[in-house]
Amino acid sequence: MGVLLEVEDIRVSYGAVEALRGVTLRLKEKEIVAVLGANGAGKTTLLRAISGLLPLVQGKVLFCGRDIRSFAPFELLRQGLAHVPEGRRIFPTLTVEENLLLGLYGVRHLVSDAERKKRKEWIFELFPVLRERRRQLAGTLSGGEQQMLAIGRGLISRPKVVLMDEPSLGLAPRVVQEIFRVIRQIHEEEGVSLLLVEQNARKALSVANYAYILENGRVALEGKPQDLVHDERVRSAYLGGSGIRQRLL
Amino acid sequence: MRVFFEQLVNGVTVGSFYALVALGYSMVYGVMKLINFAHGDLFTLGSYLGYTFLVWGAAWITERAGLWWGVLGAILFAFLANAGAGILVERVAYRPVYRAGRLPLVVSALGMSIFLQNAIMAVWGPRFQVYPSDLVPVASLRFLGLSLPLLKVVILFLSLGVMFVMYWIVEKTEFGAAVRATALDREMATLLGIDVQRVILFVFTLGPALGGMAGVMNGMYYRSIQFSMGWNYGLKAFTATILGGIGNIPGAMVGGVLLGVIETLLAGYIPGGGAWKDGFTFLILILVLIFRPTGILGEKVAEKV
Ligand SMILES: Nc1ncnc2c1ncn2[C@@H]1O[C@H](COP(=O)(O)OP(=O)(O)O)[C@@H](O)[C@H]1O
Ligand SMILES: [Mg+2]
């Protein structure tokens, strides 16, 4: 299987503070890779650096074998890399439909009108509540609906790779279920590859093919989910006690 | 009653100029969070460019095609030339300091304002210039017992038409959605494939173009122009912007027209009101800032800061 995303020993700093201190990871075709870690571990920084929103002090990122920095950040969506950032970042004073269609902006020259309609329908099937609310201002949606909109907006261009930053943050369990149902579905049916940042380690490991655990800007541990859940350190630090195996496997 | 309607038409006409200028403030503020102090002077520049076009170039057009083509030509010329000026100003005064933060940008805009004002004075002189009366049509339209100068009617409909097109672009097209998205969250816009540099260039081009157009129409309406008028005029259009809700495109239009009407009616009906016209404007500005700082059409949903 081809490698879509390769992060090679990158370092990123905010002024004097080093947030990433040599991180290496890879994401292959049709794979979900989870990036876990406590608050402040550097997960968001990692995704923002991949997307070109932060400069690399060292190392490089290859996307489909090409240096990702040969593209301007706004060109990456067209290349097939979508980023659903932390905190949803929907446009509150635009309608739900406008928000969604802006997800096609980067590929607008490649998508016919008929295709646009189809894509929109596809997202509405994934998240039926968005169809009901499509004429509403996005700022009037609940937190869970906003997250669904943010995900739909990230998927509508049918990217090869989606970077998703804490999609379950602050959401009710029922909504988290729905979001993970969609993640599973797009992975199985569309073969989308996903770099999934989560604090909800249990949920993330349940869908991932591979996982990295970040601590203080470094990869502390990596492996297949079924191996990680047996690891004592992971269990105590991220999975909080026993009874996980049954739920996971 | 007749006087009232005439005043109302005057108010809407003057207000539509304010609205065109206000659009430029509002678009630039929306995307850059910059109050573009040079905008009023770009308005003046447009006014002078239209004047020069009429005096020098229009005789040729007027002889062959008639007065109206000279008038429309002057408006179009100022629109295009000001668009060019806007691109130049962005390139020279703003782009180099984007990374430096907001304050340097504001200072640069102030500097640009002073530069433009003095450049206009150096080129056209410090004294009033008067739009030539023989180069603009003088016919009048009779309508419900009112006598309306045709030129006024035409420029009124022209500016309303342009505003409608602007509204359509910003509110109904894909690119317009991209502009609004950029104004709300530039980084998110980038992640969606929006070339923010292009949006910035768009507002810095179209804003001055609309302002230049308003400058010519304002010149034809009031006839006399002066190099320093942009400051006062800019403040009024800025008031209109605040009145409608800064950063809000329909708001700028509503605010402009409303300000023109209020100003004209107050000046017309309060004895000695003409002298207080500008005072009213700033009274409105102060009242809006105190009681409804988000403006009439201010954001319906709380915007995160
Ligand atoms: N804009 C910023 N300026 C300075 N430091 C930052 C900034 N953003 C994040 N950091 C720091 O970088 C580290 C990693 O943050 P982040 O990537 O947001 O972690 P995570 O997403 O894993 O919670 C933290 O120590 C955080 O305090
Ligand atoms: Mg984070």
Quick check: A53 pLDDT over 90? Answer: yes
User: What's the CA gap between B67 and B59, in Å, rounded?
Assistant: 9
Superfamily of domain A3-91+161-248: P-loop containing nucleotide triphosphate hydrolases (3.40.50.300)
User: What's the CA gap between B18 and B218, in Å, rounded?
Assistant: 9
What pLDDT is recorded for position B303? 42
Sign of CA dihedral B156, B160, B165, B170: positive
Are B191 and A75 inside 8 Å of each other by CB?
no
Quick check: B56 pLDDT over 60? Answer: yes
- Of A157-161, A211-215, B34-38, B265-269, the poorest mean pLDDT is in B265-269
| Section B36-47 average pLDDT | 96
Nearest CA in chain B to A87: B188
Q: Are A195 and A47 in contact (CB under 8 A)?
A: yes
What pLDDT band is residue B58 in, cutting at 50, 70 and 90?
low
User: What's the CA gap between B169 and B27, in Å, rounded?
Assistant: 12
Rg (CA), chain A: 18
Q: Are B209 and B90 in contact (CB under 8 A)?
A: no
A16 lines ligand 1 (CB under 6 A): no
Q: Any residues with CB less than 8 A from the CB of B56 and at least 6 apart, and which?
A: none
List, for residues B112-123, the tens digit of each pLDDT value.
Answer: 999 999 999 999
Nearest CA in chain B to A136: B301
Query: Number of C-alpha atoms within 13 angstroms, CB side, residue B40?
Result: 23
What pLDDT is recorded for position A78? 97
What pLDDT band is residue B6 in, cutting at 50, 70 and 90?
confident
Strands A32-37 and A193-198, by their bridges, are parallel
A23 lines ligand 1 (CB under 6 A): no
Quick check: A170 pLDDT over 50? Answer: yes
Are B178 and A140 inside 8 Å of each other by CB?
no
What pLDDT is recorded for position B23? 94
Q: What is the mean pLDDT of chain B?
A: 89
Q: Is B102 left (phi over 0), alpha (psi -120 to 50) or beta?
A: alpha
A39 lines ligand 1 (CB under 6 A): yes
Quick check: B57 pLDDT over 80? Answer: no
Quick check: A231 pLDDT over 90? Answer: no
Question: To the nearest whole angstrom, how far is the Cα of A131 from the nearest Cα of chain B?
Answer: 19
| Section B276-283 average pLDDT | 83
B174 contacts on A by Cβ (under 8 Å): 101, 105, 108
What pLDDT is recorded for position B95? 93
Number of domains in chain B: 1
What pLDDT is recorded for position B137? 77
Which amino acid, one-letter code, is at A52?
G
What pLDDT band is residue B206 in, cutting at 50, 70 and 90?
very high
User: What's the CA gap between B273 and A29, in Å, rounded?
Assistant: 74
User: What's the CA gap between B215 and B212, in Å, rounded?
Assistant: 5
Quick check: A247 pLDDT over 70? Answer: no
| Section B219-232 average pLDDT | 92
| Section A66-88 average pLDDT | 97
| Section A190-217 average pLDDT | 94
Residue with CA nearest ligand 1 atom 6: A14
Ligand 1 centre distance from Cα of residue B241 (Å): 38
Given 3-state DSSP classes, what are the helix, strand and coil percentages for chain A, each rounded to the nearest 5? Answer: 40, 25, 30
How far, rounded to the nearest angstrom, does the alpha carbon of residue B204 sit from its chain's CA centroid?
13
Quick check: A246 pLDDT over 70? Answer: no
Q: What is the mean pLDDT of chain A?
A: 93
B300 contacts on A by Cβ (under 8 Å): 93, 137, 139
What pLDDT is recorded for position B149? 85
| Between B274 and A200, the higher pLDDT residue | A200
User: What's the CA gap between B211 and A206, in Å, rounded?
Assistant: 58
- Whole-prediction pTM value? 0.91
Residue with CA nearest ligand 1 atom 3: A14
Domain that includes residue B227, residue range: 2-303
| A236 DSSP assignment | I
What pLDDT band is residue B140 in, cutting at 50, 70 and 90?
confident
What pLDDT is recorded for position B143? 76
A107 contacts on B by Cβ (under 8 Å): 193
- DSSP for A162-206 reads EEEE-TTTT--HHHHHHHHHHHHHIIIII--EEEEEES-HHHHHH
User: What's the CA gap between A46 and A33, in Å, rounded?
Assistant: 13
| Section B253-262 average pLDDT | 93
Sheet holding A66-67: strands in order across?
Answer: A17-28, A3-14, A58-63, A66-67
Quick check: A137 pLDDT over 50? Answer: yes
Q: Are B260 and B159 in contact (CB under 8 A)?
A: no
User: What's the CA gap between B27 and B241, in Å, rounded?
Assistant: 10
| Section A8-14 average pLDDT | 97
Quick check: B305 pLDDT over 70? Answer: no
How far, rounded to the nearest angstrom, does the alpha carbon of residue A159 sit from its chain's CA centroid?
12
Quick check: B255 pLDDT over 90? Answer: yes
User: What's the CA gap between A89 and A103, in Å, rounded?
Assistant: 12
User: What's the CA gap between B299 and B288, in Å, rounded?
Assistant: 15
List, for residues B157-196, the tens digit of each pLDDT value.
Answer: 999 999 999 999 999 999 999 999 999 999 999 999 999 9
| Section B255-261 average pLDDT | 93
| Section A103-113 average pLDDT | 96
| Section A221-226 average pLDDT | 94
Quick check: B86 pLDDT over 80? Answer: yes
What pLDDT is recorded for position A244? 41
Quick check: B275 pLDDT over 70? Answer: yes
What pLDDT is recorded for position B299? 60
Are A106 and B194 inside 8 Å of each other by CB?
yes
For residue A195, give both structure tokens: 């770099």
User: What's the CA gap between B226 and B48, in Å, rounded?
Assistant: 9
Strands A3-14 and A58-63, by their bridges, are antiparallel
What pLDDT is recorded for position B304? 36
What pLDDT is recorded for position B68? 82
What pLDDT is recorded for position A1? 64
Rg (CA), chain B: 19
Task: Residue B19: give its domain's CATH number.
Answer: 1.10.3470
A130 lines ligand 1 (CB under 6 A): no
